[in-house]
């Protein structure tokens, strides 16, 4: 998809504006960092809960029981709010792109 006013693609536009380049680079670095930290944390919890110690086994059973007793209906309000926030984010992102190319 090309820009109708300048004839350049949005990816090429990223390298012509220092603000857009900084924004995309910062977003990429933050996303990679958050993904690596989350995966390391999940792996650490998995390794720790996979232990054979008596108290770790008791904690593992406790977590499983509470996970089974979890009431999913109590979280539907939070799920709806999260979905609505994602929709607002996507609309804002789309409008930002439309404003940048002058289509709005």
Span 25-82, pLDDT tens digits? 998 999 999 999 999 999 999 999 898 889 999 999 998 888 888 776 777 888 899 9
More confident: 22 or 4: 22
pLDDT for res 97: 82
Rounded Cα gap, residues 76 and 78, in angstroms: 5
pLDDT at 12: 67
- Flag whether pLDDT at 90 surpasses 90: yes
Angle at 62 between CA 58 and CA 63, to 5 degrees: 120
Q: Which of 30, 11, 31 is nearest to 21 (CA)?
A: 11
The answer to whether the CB of 63 falls within 8 A of the CB of 70 is: no
How does DSSP classify residue 71? -
State the Cα–Cα distance between residues 66 and 13, nearest whole angstrom.
51
Q: What's residue 36's pLDDT?
A: 97
């Amino acid at each position: 998809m090309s820009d109708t006013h300048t004839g350049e693609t949005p990816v090429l536009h990223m390298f012509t504006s220092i603000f857009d380049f900084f924004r995309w680079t910062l977003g990429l670095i933050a996303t990679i960092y958050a993904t690596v930290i989350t995966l390391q944390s999940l792996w650490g919890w998995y390794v720790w809960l996979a232990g054979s110690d008596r108290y770790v086994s008791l904690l593992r059973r406790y977590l499983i029981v509470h996970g089974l007793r979890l009431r999913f209906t109590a979280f539907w309000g939070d799920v709806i709010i999260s979905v609505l926030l994602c929709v607002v984010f996507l609309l804002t992102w789309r409008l930002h792109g439309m404003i940048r190319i002058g289509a709005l």
